[in-house]
Structure 1
Amino acid sequence: MTSEILEEIKKTIVQRLPERVQVAKVEFEGPEVVIYTKNPKIITENGDLIRNLAKDLRKRIIIRSDKSVLLDPDKTIDRIHEIVPDEAQITNISFDEVTCEVVIEAKKPGLVIGKFGVTSREVVKNTGWAPKILRTPPITSEIIEKVRNTLKHNSKERKKILQNLGTRIHQGVKYENDWARLTSMGGFKEVGRSCMLLQTPNSRVLLDCGVNVAGNDDKTSYPYLNVPEFSISELDAVVISHAHLDHCGFLPYLYHYGYEGPVYCTTPTRDLMTLLQLDHIDIAHREGNPLPFNIKHVQKSIKHTITLDYGEVTDIAPDIRLTLHNAGHIIGSAMCHMHIGDGQHNIVYTGDFKNERSRLLERATTKFPRMETLVMESTYGGHEDVQPSRNEAEKEMMRTIYTTLKRGGKVLIPVFAVGRAQELMIVLEEYMRHGMIKEVPIYIDGMIWEATAIHTARPEYLSKDLRDQIFHVGRNPFISDAFHKVKNVSKRKDIVEGEPSIILSTSGMLTGGNSVEYFKWLSEDPKSTLIFVGYQSEGSLGRRIQKGWKEIPLNEEGKTKLYNVKMQIKTIEGFSGHSNRNQLMDYVKRLSVKPEKIITCHGDPYKTVDLASSIHRSYKIETKTPLNLEVTRIQ
């Protein structure tokens, strides 16, 4: 069936392209149709032709040169430097002979692309190589280097993976799409280990595969992969909404378990989830609680990951098309729109989302072409979950910091490495630059620095105001001199014994990591302040302190030591990357299309039900609040 479809596509391509275009071969690589030609410049000069062809075929099309017409690599490098202006600041040029691509890394990639793509097309016309243009991060990122090197050194294997995937995606449907259903495998009436299985008569797609970082054992930490509906050999795809561990932390286990299929997400999500997964493995190993997977399974997932931009439509199964949309939660976070069959059903899974602009990101998308089912988070879905505005939260933060510094104390902010940390960095840099708080060192500890480097590599995913500040004003708040990277344990000791300062450190719930060590050192200092700015899940150390525990037992070199909490404890709401109750209700109201059914997840049992019942009363939409292990028919 696949070969018949490919022959039909090839026939259409040959008919539609100018006679001068010599088509060497046409093949599937994952969801894409790749056309190899001996004279690519004719096609590059007719961009509308390919766009129209892709639209008519309803496929993503890639143009590559046949190897016989590629210019020698050394001469290609010289030609690229002649074509691309020096202002682009190219930092590296390498070649992928498997895909016939030249990888150009530059500090200003827009100048390599050129206005309307004119410069990159010149590279193709003069060298035959298809340019793959990457941004050189202003802050060096070890993770981005690891990911790029993994893909580069495994190019042959990756091409084979994509070719096998192409065969599976384009095999055609066997059965009529007369039903679709969701199996709740984690994150329903709870926060943590988000995971659900979307089934149709023809396809099986897993949406998220997370861990509960505050779980006490395997039964409470990991998704229910042992449900009878789930079979690793029948799984067509995994879609990851964003990089937080409660949504992606268990993904490597699938590859340990035998999964050979693709993962779909945005580029920032791929890089950040690699960072968080590797750190998760490292912490678990150091704490003597090894995970049921290791680094090689993370590397395997990288090789199988296909990245998508917002708004890019792609086939992920014989009868399912996926489009990712901005969720406003963290950089690269996505709402997942799945179009089943020939329009039989459309489902949107929000993942975690923020229905409000922040300094870091634009607000979540509300415009979808069609949607019959909406699966939405309800972290702050209770009627009492009305948080202050972002402006009020910032003012309260600065008052607290001002008071603490004035009395000679230190400010410890346990924070998630991705999202909240960068939001706070922007706020602190601005207030300090304008003299609204005292100029003291802002120490960045844990994964935050590396996560921030990944943010700087993908400014196109940031808010318009922040992009304007970086590109037009020439001021990047992330590389301010106010921030100091903490490199080792001895430096931490100097910080807690030194002058007043602000410390941003992971983990955000004090479930491990360096923030716990800072808490141990500072807990009995009444001049210092601990500020919570993110959600503290039940069972975490952060939640116990937040509840007012004054004596905290913690493990210290195999022995339990009691810490008396004398430092000030402050919770400041309003910085969360989640929507509060009003924003959740407003989101449903603002949707461009009204869903027939809404399923709530990712919230405590009471909040999940409270939000669902309020939506039903206010908007007369059918709502459901399934438990883990329940199956919900959506069509």
Structure 2
Amino acid sequence: MTTNDNTTALDSVREKLNNEIPDELSISRVTYEGPELIIYTDTPRKFAEQDGLVRRLASTVRKRITVRPAPGTQTSPTDAEPRIRNLIPDKAGITNLEFYPETGEVLIEAEKPGLVIGSRASTLREITKEVGWTPEVLRTPPMESSTVDNVRNFLKQERGERRQFLEQVGEEIHRESGQDPEWVRVTTLGCCREVGRASFILSTPESRVLIDCGDKPGAEGEVPYLQLPEANPIADLDAVVLTHAHLDHSALLPLLFKYGYDGPVYTTEATRDLMGLLQLDYLDVAAKEGRTPPYESEMVREELKHTITLDYGDVTDIAPGIKLTLHNAGHILGSAVAHFHIGSGFHNLVFSGDIHHTDTRLFNGASNDFPRVETLVLESTYGRRNDYQTDQEDSERRLIELINETSERDGTVVIPAFAVGRSQELMLVLEEAMREGKIPTMPVYLDGMIREATAIHTAYPEFLRDGLRQRILHDNENPFLADQFQQVDGGDQMREEIAAGDPCIILSTSGMVTGGPIISWLELLGGDPENTLLFVGYQAQGTLGRRIQRGERKIPFSDSRRGKELTLQFRVESVSGFSGHADRNGLEDFVRTMEPRPHKILCVHGDESATDQFSSALYQKFNLRTYAPKNTETFRLG
């Protein structure tokens, strides 16, 4: 795209805006920052007085709009701060105010951001009318989170450079586009007939978008096929979309920046923070196990600097001729089903990511309400004929039985758990069971990243299930803050003391027993038959968790204890129903209840038997064209 092309496009947008605004308002500059249109004005206070004007302008130009004051038109920060505080109710709990004169924005962090915003953003408009600054509001996490703090502080430091990046992205997105594309193609770079290394390329004649870029649990060195011609040059990709933060979808995304990619990563705000947490831990675990990490931590920071966060339901231009909308996937915090609208209705394509179709304690069920879908790329983790999970209530009842049985034997329950999602689900079950006397009140130790991941959950309650969000935001009942939850922060010495102490419950990463502190718990507690190892999540093929689940009891250590073998003697149990994935019924219901249904379904993210059986079942039940693709295949969709 040439500068003249962009200037012409912006001049056209500016002309439309000038035709819509009252004469007493002025526009000094119009620019794009990523997908968003930024209007700078010499009359910010008068703009704020026009209730509904920005919504009308956004409808006219069909873009999201932010209005900012032109430099020098706002009150000085010294005078503005007390006036802003005076407009915001004390109950909002302001924890930080920061002014950014270069953009005319004031960042307001508060414990109750809703009180800062006001009904229909009335307080925000009052702030702009009073002092001329454009407010940006953030929630102060109720649990201290080093991840949230670090990400926010890093983005504040990079604010100037990031603004330049966003303007460049805006130019690329809005470069001149021709007619509807002649074709749309999807290339499978991973997670076909396997679980892990999720990655796809979506291509049109004008644009290329990468969806996810993960590793494969328990299979070191098996990475997405990024060397394929469809993926290259990586530096020239238009965009990257991340469905959620689990490492089998996100682990290798920073590698793109090592290969020269300098463009945007689109995801939700919660996923942005969680992916940073999990990727840095991924590097740490690799280093501790003596493996060479595939990238440096600096690449994680580059990725964060290039991330553009979207809310569920926002329709966003991400490349010429491609619009993206993220919807709740019900899988983990911030997880998304990605809907791509290509051309002016030429083709609509949905990537499910990982989904849980029904409500859980933690999340509302996955959304499948799309205006149009021609092609669906659908996860098939539990796609086999007999992959039916236990009902949630029955699962919780069985979990409580096993805890009580172990407690009566003075044993300890060890639960390998994913730091993100399953741990928080279990915490809610355990907190309620202890509160209601269904199990004895005892310490629940959180080992690994679980507590930090939980703090991130409380920082983004808008992604949680309706009732839980209400408890945290309005009822001052945060179940994650219950006294029995204790962080293991004393290393091996603390673990030894816990193992030698009274009965307790231990939630520890990693969820598939592929490394991390769970290995220490196997060594400390695995030799006592009074203890119980309890699996509650999916154990991928090739992982130590899968081998133990299937009966293997002699465990070789592959780290610094090389050559040592451990014989497990504790009870090993599995309880289904806590998975973040839909079971066979849930996957079929996701398709059955879609209106309209897709014409074509690609069944991915399941082992060969799961994808084959599920693909066949969907064809037979719904008379749809279905496929169980292999990695490195390309499908022409339109």
Q: Superposed, which structure 2 residues align to 1:380-399 within 5 Å?
A: 380-399=382-401
Mapped pair 1:207 → 2:207: no
Identify if the C-alpha distance between structure 1 residues 44 and 592 changes in structure 2 by more than 3 Å, giving closer, same or farther: farther
Give the unaligned 5+ runs of structure 1: none
Question: Of residues 76, 98, 111 in structure 2, which corresponds to 1:107?
Answer: 111
Residue number in structure 1 paired with 2:24: 20
Give 1:515 deviation, angstroms.
Answer: 0.9
Give 1:147 deviation, angstroms.
Answer: 0.7
Q: Superposed, which structure 2 residues align to 1:69-80 within 5 Å?
A: 69-80=73-84
Give 1:41 deviation, angstroms.
Answer: 2.5
Cα displacement string for residues 520-547 of structure 1 (whole angstroms, at most 9, x for unaligned residues): 1111111100000111111111011001
Give 1:352 deviation, angstroms.
Answer: 0.1
Residue number in structure 1 paired with 2:247: 245
Amino acid at match of 2:14: K
CA contact (8 A) 1:175 1:202 kept: no
Distance 2:139 2:127 in 1: 17
SS at match of 2:558: strand
Distance 2:166 2:440 in 1: 54
Amino acid at match of 1:214: G
Residue number in structure 2 paired with 1:418: 420
Residue number in structure 2 paired with 1:429: 431
Residue number in structure 2 paired with 1:57: 61
Question: Of residues 574, 591, 594 in structure 1, which corresponds to 2:594?
Answer: 591
Cα displacement string for residues 37-82 of structure 1 (whole angstroms, at most 9, x for unaligned residues): 1112322233422212212212111111111112211222111111
Give 1:290 deviation, angstroms.
Answer: 2.1
TM-score by length of 2: 0.98
Distance 1:384 1:471 in 2: 40
Give 1:223 deviation, angstroms.
Answer: 0.7
Residue number in structure 1 paired with 2:344: 342
Residue number in structure 2 paired with 1:36: 40
Cα displacement string for residues 268-315 of structure 1 (whole angstroms, at most 9, x for unaligned residues): 000000000010011111111121211110001111000000001110
Question: Of residues 80, 85, 88 in structure 1, which corresponds to 2:89?
Answer: 85
Residue number in structure 2 paired with 1:613: 616
CA contact (8 A) 1:626 1:632 kept: no
Question: Of residues 358, 378, 381 in structure 2, which corresponds to 1:379?
Answer: 381
Distance 1:47 1:237 in 2: 35
Question: Of residues 469, 472, 486 in structure 2, which corresponds to 1:484?
Answer: 486
Distance 2:338 2:570 in 1: 43
SS at match of 1:198: strand
CA contact (8 A) 1:372 1:595 kept: yes
Distance 2:270 2:604 in 1: 24
Q: Quick check: 46-55 or 423-432, which moved more? A: 46-55
Identify if the C-alpha distance between structure 1 residues 88 and 360 changes in structure 2 by more than 3 Å, giving closer, same or farther: same
Distance 1:287 1:75 in 2: 55
Amino acid at match of 1:101: E
Residue number in structure 2 paired with 1:471: 473
Identify if the C-alpha distance between structure 1 residues 229 and 473 changes in structure 2 by more than 3 Å, giving closer, same or farther: same
Distance 1:175 1:465 in 2: 46
SS at match of 1:209: coil
Amino acid at match of 1:363: G
Amino acid at match of 2:208: R
Give 1:468 deviation, angstroms.
Answer: 2.0
Distance 2:101 2:44 in 1: 16
Question: Of residues 119, 125, 129 in structure 2, which corresponds to 1:125?
Answer: 129
Amino acid at match of 2:353: G
SS at match of 2:192: coil
Cα displacement string for residues 452-473 of structure 1 (whole angstroms, at most 9, x for unaligned residues): 0000011111001111222343
Mapped pair 1:228 → 2:229: yes
Identify if the C-alpha distance between structure 1 residues 117 and 556 changes in structure 2 by more than 3 Å, giving closer, same or farther: closer
Q: Quick check: 416-425 or 547-556, which moved more? A: 547-556
Give 1:556 deviation, angstroms.
Answer: 5.5
Amino acid at match of 1:227: L
Distance 2:243 2:434 in 1: 34
Cα displacement string for residues 224-278 of structure 1 (whole angstroms, at most 9, x for unaligned residues): 1000111213200000000100111101000111100000000000000000001
CA contact (8 A) 1:176 1:201 kept: no
Residue number in structure 2 paired with 1:531: 534
Give 1:170 deviation, angstroms.
Answer: 0.5
SS at match of 1:559: coil
Residue number in structure 2 paired with 1:542: 545
SS at match of 2:254: helix
Amino acid at match of 1:136: T
Residue number in structure 2 paired with 1:460: 462
Residue number in structure 1 paired with 2:636: 633
Residue number in structure 2 paired with 1:368: 370
Provide the aligned length of Structure 1 versus Structure 2.
632
Question: Of residues 166, 179, 182 in structure 2, which corresponds to 1:178?
Answer: 182
Distance 1:8 1:557 in 2: 65
> Percent identical across equivalent pairs?
47
CA contact (8 A) 1:207 1:241 kept: yes
Amino acid at match of 1:224: Y
Identify if the C-alpha distance between structure 1 residues 176 and 310 changes in structure 2 by more than 3 Å, giving closer, same or farther: closer
Distance 2:484 2:292 in 1: 37
CA contact (8 A) 1:98 1:159 kept: no
Distance 1:187 1:434 in 2: 42
Give the unaligned 5+ runs of structure 2: none
Q: Quick check: 117-126 or 415-424, which moved more? A: 117-126
Give 1:553 deviation, angstroms.
Answer: 1.2
Distance 1:608 1:415 in 2: 25
Give 1:383 deviation, angstroms.
Answer: 0.7
Amino acid at match of 1:298: V
Amino acid at match of 2:91: E
SS at match of 1:64: strand
Q: Quick check: 621-630 or 462-471, which moved more? A: 462-471
SS at match of 2:566: strand
Give 1:207 deviation, angstroms.
Answer: 0.5
Give 1:122 deviation, angstroms.
Answer: 1.1
Amino acid at match of 1:341: G
SS at match of 1:288: coil
Distance 2:562 2:459 in 1: 43
Distance 2:403 2:471 in 1: 25
CA contact (8 A) 2:71 2:102 kept: no
Cα displacement string for residues 461-515 of structure 1 (whole angstroms, at most 9, x for unaligned residues): 1001111222343211011111011112121111111110000111000101111
Give 1:215 deviation, angstroms.
Answer: 1.1
Cα displacement string for residues 328-380 of structure 1 (whole angstroms, at most 9, x for unaligned residues): 00111000000001110000110000011000000000210111111110000
SS at match of 1:10: helix
Q: Quick check: 56-65 or 610-619, which moved more? A: 56-65
Question: Of residues 577, 580, 583 in structure 2, which corresponds to 1:577?
Answer: 580
Amino acid at match of 1:600: C
Amino acid at match of 1:230: A
Question: Of residues 28, 44, 49 in structure 2, which corresponds to 1:45?
Answer: 49
Mapped pair 1:158 → 2:162: yes
Residue number in structure 1 paired with 2:7: 3
Distance 1:557 1:244 in 2: 27
